[in-house]
Every structure is written in structure tokens, then in C-alpha cells.
Structure 1
Amino acid sequence: MGDNSVVISVSETTDTRENGRLTPLTRINQIAPTQVVDAAQLNYRRPATRFTSKLAIILFFTHLVTASILILFLSVRGFLSRSPSFHPARWFTSLLTSAVASILVAILWPLLVLRYPAKALRAALLLAPSLAVGVAVLLLADDGGGSLASAVLFLALALVLILYCCWITRRLRHAEEILSAAGASVRPTLVLAKYLGLALLAGLVYFSFWTLGAGGLAAGGASRFAALYVLLLLLSLGWTMQAIRYVVHVAVAQLAYARLAWGTEVAVPTAFDTAAMRVLGQVCFGSAAVPVVVTARVAAQAMGSVAGDSDEFLFSCSSCFMGVADRLVTLVNRWGFVYVAVHRQGLGGASAEIWELFVKQGMDKLIDLDLTGPFCFLCGVVGGGVSAMVAGPWVLEAGEGHVAEATVYAFAVGYFMTRIAMAWPQACVAAYHVVFAENPQNNEMGSCIRERMRQLQTSPN
């Protein structure tokens, strides 16, 4: 056994083998919290599907190479046919300044959540719609058609956020309690801050390179394929940033699970090595699949809420769409990353296993009403709004006619940077749910989930 390993006593632990893996039935903290467990000891379950992992990695890095070629092509094309009204220095300075501002916001949010979860929740509820309105007003100050269309979208976003924030008011107390309880499992340390900073730096580096393509597209003027280029650039930015985000999510999930389930600690470098190297294929796959599934489920729930009990033809497919979305979330979900991190399972199998566990413990409704995901989205909107408010005025003052593009790109980088940082508390909550589902009788985790489940059982509304 390696020098960084410890012996785990099993004298008071009852385990069973099921499908070739070791599953703890009862858990007693038999290792001091200051000890570090070798990652090899945590992997009792079957390894991730090699073919799926390799295919996902190949597709992800092929996308990076293709995106790099497209960015270089657009930058050279834009430089050769640059419009006199386009000023590269002002364009790139505004976007890079917004990216730096987004890093500052991204660092602030998880610290605020872990220290003052109640204040962080209420701040997100207030700031997200307010900043969305602010971005819309900024865009309306420009007289371009693209700015007007973007302003309408941000106003619609602000309206939806206002309605949603009013709707979830009664669920805030449980959200505060679980953020506080789960966040305590992974406290801030200098080592963890270093790795989170490296993740944000990776996002900044890619965005800095990405702006070359966006700037070249803006400088080159009108093109038949401009809309397609913008779509491809945004998809590339989204997938890359999501991959960085889920590397952080998987690493922190391993740290939180080990602390909550076994009362042990995994070395932070080991956790990030697992996420960035050993299960990278599942991270690449999940970073593309999970956002799609979440978007489909949100759309299905919104359609179901609007349709109600109506049998009109317009809403005749809402129940079918909801069924498909519910099925997808059982196959691919962010809770599955916990077992990807700890047991190196494939994301599909891990998601299905964990969701089956949630259903068995009667936690499916609680999970469905969990506000951690929406809260992280609101934090992302705040980060995006701050970045857009930093970049937009620079381009607006120059009068270059590219206000909409610069504002939307700045909003995108602010959103993704904040989501990378917010993967920390979100992973802690995911691990908290999974550990509770494995052993609901564990009194060491507090009573917030049990109390919430009793409330849901006695009050269906």
C-alpha cells in the first residue's frame, strides 16, 4: 500500500457485494478527518465505459481543433477586409476587461454562498432580473436592429426571472439550509482556491483566443454565413466552458462525498487529477449532454404549466414531451457526476443508478423542487450582466455599430465564468443528496432533508 494510503477498518461496517461492487449498508466514520485516502481505495465500482469515454474525448478535441481553425480563418479574413469603422483595440479591450470583471464576480459568489447562503440567495433573486433589465436598457441606447432584438430578449428574460423569483419564495428556507449544510463538507483552502483559479484562468485563456474569431467576424462586415459563424462560435464557447465547469464539479463532488459518506478527506490534487485525466471522457460527454437535458426538461415543465389540464390541440403533445424529458433526466443528470467522480462509472449508468436510488427513498419530488440549479443559473445571469455592463458602454461610446455583439459575447463569458466557480457549491449539494439517499438514517448529516420530505408529504402544494 502506498505511503499516502490509510487502512480502513471494517469491524463495524456491514457491506454487500452487488454486481461486482462493494456497497456500504451502514457507515461509521472510522478515519480521522485529517487523514487522506488514496483515490484507488474509493473506486469499488465498475469503470466507465471505455468506448464512450474515448469517443467523447475524440469529439471534444476534434471540436477544439475545428473551432481553432475557424477562429483563425475569421480573424485573418476580418483583418484583410477590416471595415474602417471597426477599432480592434477598443473591441478587444472591452471584451477582455469584461472577462476579467467576470472572474472577480465568479470568485465572489461561491465565497458568499459558503459564508452567507441566505444573503447569497436573496442577492441573486434581486440582482439577476435587475441586471437583465440594465443590459436591455444599454442595448436600447443603440439604434441597431440587432441591439433592439437582443434588448427584447433580455427584457423577456428579466420578466421570466421576476415571475420565477416570486414563485419560489416559499422554497427559499430549505435551499438556504441545504446550501449551508452541504457547503460545510468542502471548506475553502489555499490549494482548492489555486485549482479553482486555474480553471477560471483556462476559461479566460480560451475566451481571449475566441475573441479573435468574434472580432474578425465583426470586422469583416456582412456575410451570408455570419449567423452560422456566430452560432458555431457560441456553441464552441459553451461546450468548452461547460467542460471546464464539470471538471470542477467532478473534483469537488469527490471531495464532498468522501467527507460526507466516509468522514475522510481526499487530497485536492488527486480529486482534480481524477476529473481532468481519469474521467475526462465522461466530463466531455456530460458537459454536452446535461445542459441539453436540463433545457429540455425546463421547456417541458414550462409547457406543462401553461397547458394545465387543457386538451386543446396546441398542448396535446405537452404530456408526451414531459414524459420524454423525465426519461432523459433519469439517464443523464448532474447527480450522476458524483459516482463518476467517486467510482469512475459511466455517466449514463451512474445517473440511472442514482435516480433509481432517489425514487426508492421517495426523494424524486424533493430533487425536482431543488433550487440549487436555478440559483446557480441566477448567479450566472448576475455574472453575465456585470460583464455586459462593463463591455457594452465601451463599444456604444465608440459608435461602431457592434454593440449587440459585444454585449452578448460579454454576457456569455460572464455567465460561464460564474458557473465554473459555482460548480463548487453545486457539487457539494449533489453529493449531499446522494449520500443521504444511500443512508437516510445517518444522523450526522442533519435533518433538513428529512424535514423537507415530511413537508412535501403533508402538503402536496
Structure 2
Amino acid sequence: MGVAEPVVERETEEHVDVDHHKQQDEIKQTHKDLEKGEMGHDHQQQHFQPSMTTLNSRRYTNKISLFLFTLHFLVAVCLVFFLVFKGVQGLVQGGSARRKERRVIQYFLPQVEAASLLSITLAFSWQKAVRVWPHFMVQFILWSSFLMTLSAGILLICIQRPSTDGVGVVFILFAIGNGLYACWVTQRTKFCSRVFLKALEPVSKFHDINRPTYWMLGIGFVWMSIWILAVIGALNFYFPPLVIILLVLSLLWTAEVMRNVANLTISRVIALFYLRGMQSNTQFCFQRALSKNLGSACLGSLFVPTIEALRIVARGLNLLEGEDEFMFSCAHCCLKVMETIFRYGNGWAYVQIAAYGKGFVKASQDTWELFEKREMELIVDSDITTAICFLTGVCSGSICVIMVAAWTAAVHVTYTATISLLAFIVGYLMTRIAMALPHACVSCYYVCYAENPDNRLFDDTIPKRLDLIKSNRDVVVPTPRVPPRFRR
């Protein structure tokens, strides 16, 4: 026994040594895999090692949504190129079809292409301005969107055609609602400006963080240019209104997915900076958003705009709530639906999708639980960041409408209403893609604070706001919730 003991001890030591080397190799591999080039520049974070596997999830999320979007996009590409072919065929053929096609190209195409160029210029300008002058731009966006939408509506009505009158009335009604909203949120603009200012601070640490947005804008510009040619071809095809509506719906979903790809890329870069102090590789984050997280971007692109629309409806019904029993029942029902929807689907989920590779619904649930844990529901409910980004797109779309409506009314007034609507859609979508950067930064600021409020990268902006709300010294008008006495 005395001779055998050293052998056993030596074997045990060798086994422990092998396990230790394996563990070290695994850690090194995880470091290597985690963003393929990220470097830790801040060692103040705790529990770094156990979280690496979650940060480097290799699972594809929301595969059904990814399949549906891919199938839709393939069908859309085939339809677009078929309609472009029909347009070219109309030019080659003689007779009335050729004359109609040439007239459309002469009086329709230049205005819409000019709107595309103007929209991409405005998109870059808005994003840069928000990053440089956040305090000024919040107020400016609220009121300039009101003025531009109102101006576009008045201009369309002045053209004095039934089609332009109808579109003009819609713009004016929206402008009135926009003005009322701007008055309603006046007390929240100062806090929104401070959040923008603080949330955009990490952007300067990543010189290439805007590159995915540039790629999405470039791809979007090319696709919209081809899409416009398809719309022209649809005018000489069967059921033009139906075909054009389908093309518009496809474009809306595709552009929203492109925006959320940029959103996921930026969210991962900024979230890993907040949570782990990492200098991420933007290109690798972009590749991850285009592959593993693309399904979540596709699902969220359908779900989140619907949620925002229901949010507006809920607020409107809440304002109408009163003695009328029927309206009260509608408001009660809608608010209860809203409470459920916000738990299972919200725009804040993109941060956890990007950081941890979660599915859209799971990320939405976990994010909302974090907000409830930190008692931040009132803050995020009353946040106007999404509204500011939305109104920025509306402002760009209205500017495009003013340009093309005046131009088209001078050369071929019959096309004015159609071209104005297309110009608005193009201007709105391009700007929304560009505004993915500030939007993602603000989302990361809220969600990462909720996950680790003791992080020294955060200041006292959110705690002070919470203290003011709890002490009733700050007026907050949140997204309407179901009154406590009706929760059963």
C-alpha cells in the first residue's frame, strides 16, 4: 500500500491537470468565439465567465418567421422583376400601350426617383443632427413634423382634384393629431433629450458602428428604385390597385426588417459594451443579425408596428373613457389586451435578442420582467423615443410629398395623388432605417440599466426620474393600463 499511494496521487494530479487544461482551452475558445475580435477594456464587471455561453448563443431564433419572410421575399422578387419586364415590354410594343408607358416614365419616374434621393439625404441629416444636438432636435422634430405634414396637406388640397383632396385631408388630420401630441408630451421632452444625450455617448467608441445602417440604406435605395419600376409595370398589368397594394405591403415589411437588422447589430455592440465592457466587432455582429437573429427581426417587424398602432388606439380610448358605458367597456377591453401584448411583444426585446440570442417572445417577456423588477414600467411606458423616431420619418415623408406634389402638379396633375403617396412611403422608410442607431442606443440604455443598475457607465438620470415619479413631483402620462380595480 505504501508503494501504491504515490502512484495514485500522481494519477490524480495528472487527471486534475488535464481537466484544468481543458477548462483553460474552453475559456480561450469562448473568448475567441465571442464576437471574433472583442476585447475587454473594463474589468469592473462581475460574473463574466459564466455568461459567455449565453452571449455566444448559436441558435437560430424564430425559424418559422424566417421561413415565411424568405418565402415572401422570393415571391416579391419574382413579382417585381416580372412587372419590370412587363414595363419594358410595354415600351417595346407599339400602339396605345407604348404611348401610355412612355408617358408614365416621363411624368412619373423622375419625381419618385428624386424623392428617393431626397429621402436618403434627409435620413443621413436627421441621424447626424440627433447625435450632435439631441436637446434641440427633440423639440424640433415634434413641431417640424406637425408643420411639414400640415403644409403637405394644404398643398394637396390646393391642387383641387378629388384624389389629392382626399389625401390632403388625411395629412391635415394627422397634423392636428401630431400637434395635440406635441402639446401633450411637452413635459417629457427634457427627460427624452437627456436620455438621448447619455445613450449616444458610447457611439463615439465604435468608429464603424454606423456601417450596417449605411449598408441597409444602400440596399434599401437600390431595392426601392427597382420597386418603383415594378409599380410602373403594374399600371399596365391586371388589377393595378391590388397589385400595387401588395407591393406596398411587401416593401413595408422588407424595409422594417432591414431597419431591425441594423437595430439588432447596434444593440449587440452597445449592450455588450454596457454589460461586459467589450469592444465588439461590428461586422461580426452584423453577420449575426443577418443569420441567427434574422427570424426575430422578421417576427418583430410584423408584431411591433401592430403593437404601436394598438398603443395609439388604447390611448385614444382611454381619453374617451367616461360616463358612456359602451365606450368604457371598449376602453377596458382594449387596455386589458394591451397589458397582455406588452408582456409578450415589445420593441425593447431587440436588446436581449441581440445580446443573448433569445426568441422574440421570450426576450419580450424577460425584458418586461426586468422593468417590473426595477419598477421602471412608468418610465418606459411614457418614453417618447419611438414617437420621435416615427415623427422623424413622417417629417421626411412630408418634405418629399411637398417636393413631388408641386413638381407633378406642374407637369402632369393626374399623377399627383399616387406619386405623393409613394414619395411619402419612400421618405418615411429611408429615414426610419437611419434612425435605427439612436433608437437602438436608447433601448440598450434602458434595458441594460434594468439588468445592472449598479454599472458605473450609468449616471443618475433614471434613478432621479424614478424618485420624482414615486414622490409625485413629476407628471407622467404613461401608456394606459387596466385600472387596478378591474384586474381580476
2:312 aligns to what?
298
1:89 aligns to what?
106
1:43 counterpart letter in structure 2: T
Q: How many angstroms apart in 2 are the aligned matches of 1:42 and 1:172?
A: 39
1:29 aligns to what?
none
Return closer, same or farther for 1:70/1:310 CA change in 2, 3 Å cut-off: farther
* Equivalent residue pairs, number: 433
1:57 aligns with 2:31: no
Any conservation in 2 of the 1:186–1:252 contact (CA below 8 Å)?
Answer: no
2:397 aligns to what?
384
Return closer, same or farther for 1:6/1:140 CA change in 2, 3 Å cut-off: closer
1:120 aligns with 2:134: no
1:104 to 103, 121, 140: 121
1:249 aligns with 2:266: no
1:166 to 176, 183, 189: 183
Q: How many angstroms apart in 1 are the aligned matches of 2:79 and 2:293?
A: 28
CA deviation string 1:301-349 (max 9, x = no partner) = 2211222x33422442211111112211211111111111111111110
Any conservation in 2 of the 1:147–1:403 contact (CA below 8 Å)?
Answer: yes
**TM alignment of 1:323-402, pairs within 5 A:** 323-402=336-415
2:335 aligns to what?
322
SS at match of 1:251: helix
Return closer, same or farther for 1:7/1:169 CA change in 2, 3 Å cut-off: closer
1:155 aligns with 2:172: yes
1:300 counterpart letter in structure 2: A
CA deviation string 1:18-39 (max 9, x = no partner) = xxxx56xxxxxxxxxxxxxxxx
1:271 aligns with 2:285: yes
How far 1:400 sits from its partner (Å)? 4.5
Return closer, same or farther for 1:400/1:73 CA change in 2, 3 Å cut-off: farther
2:79 aligns to what?
70
1:4 to 37, 54, 60: 37
1:138 aligns to what?
155
| Higher deviation after alignment, 277-286 or 415-424 | 277-286
Q: How many angstroms apart in 1 are the aligned matches of 2:456 and 2:169?
A: 50
2:250 aligns to what?
236
1:33 aligns to what?
none
1:209 aligns with 2:226: yes
2:156 counterpart letter in structure 1: L
How far 1:359 sits from its partner (Å)? 0.7
1:450 aligns to what?
463
Q: How many angstroms apart in 2 are the aligned matches of 1:176 and 1:247?
A: 25
Q: How many angstroms apart in 2 are the aligned matches of 1:442 and 1:12?
A: 8
How far 1:200 sits from its partner (Å)? 0.3
Instruction: Report the TM-score when normalising by structure 1.
Output: 0.87
Q: How many angstroms apart in 2 are the aligned matches of 1:432 and 1:453?
A: 15
Any conservation in 1 of the 2:107–2:412 contact (CA below 8 Å)?
Answer: no
SS at match of 2:453: coil
2:419 aligns to what?
406
Q: How many angstroms apart in 1 are the aligned matches of 2:379 and 2:217?
A: 32
2:403 counterpart letter in structure 1: V
CA deviation string 1:86-106 (max 9, x = no partner) = 331331111111111111111
CA deviation string 1:205-262 (max 9, x = no partner) = 1111111222234466xx7x44432321221111010001001100111111122222
Return closer, same or farther for 1:45/1:188 CA change in 2, 3 Å cut-off: closer
1:43 aligns to what?
54
Q: How many angstroms apart in 2 are the aligned matches of 1:228 and 1:172?
A: 41
Any conservation in 1 of the 2:404–2:420 contact (CA below 8 Å)?
Answer: yes
Return closer, same or farther for 1:401/1:76 CA change in 2, 3 Å cut-off: farther
1:13 aligns to what?
46
1:180 counterpart letter in structure 2: L
| Higher deviation after alignment, 63-72 or 132-141 | 63-72
| Higher deviation after alignment, 4-13 or 148-157 | 4-13
Any conservation in 1 of the 2:196–2:442 contact (CA below 8 Å)?
Answer: yes
Any conservation in 2 of the 1:332–1:347 contact (CA below 8 Å)?
Answer: yes
1:425 to 438, 441, 445: 438
How far 1:45 sits from its partner (Å)? 7.6
Any conservation in 1 of the 2:39–2:279 contact (CA below 8 Å)?
Answer: no
Return closer, same or farther for 1:108/1:9 CA change in 2, 3 Å cut-off: closer
Q: How many angstroms apart in 1 are the aligned matches of 2:45 and 2:373?
A: 25
Any conservation in 1 of the 2:259–2:432 contact (CA below 8 Å)?
Answer: yes
RMSD (Å), alpha carbons: 2.5
Structure index of larger Rg: 2
Q: How many angstroms apart in 1 are the aligned matches of 2:184 and 2:132?
A: 25
CA deviation string 1:8-61 (max 9, x = no partner) = 998972479xxxxx56xxxxxxxxxxxxxxxxx47348665x5x6322122112
Q: How many angstroms apart in 2 are the aligned matches of 1:132 and 1:228?
A: 27
Q: How many angstroms apart in 1 are the aligned matches of 2:45 and 2:419?
A: 60
How far 1:184 sits from its partner (Å)? 0.6
Q: How many angstroms apart in 2 are the aligned matches of 1:169 and 1:5?
A: 41
Any conservation in 2 of the 1:385–1:411 contact (CA below 8 Å)?
Answer: yes
1:183 aligns to what?
200
Q: How many angstroms apart in 1 are the aligned matches of 2:311 and 2:143?
A: 25
How far 1:271 sits from its partner (Å)? 1.5
1:237 counterpart letter in structure 2: L
CA deviation string 1:141-194 (max 9, x = no partner) = 333322111111000110000000011111111101000000112228653343
Any conservation in 2 of the 1:338–1:430 contact (CA below 8 Å)?
Answer: yes
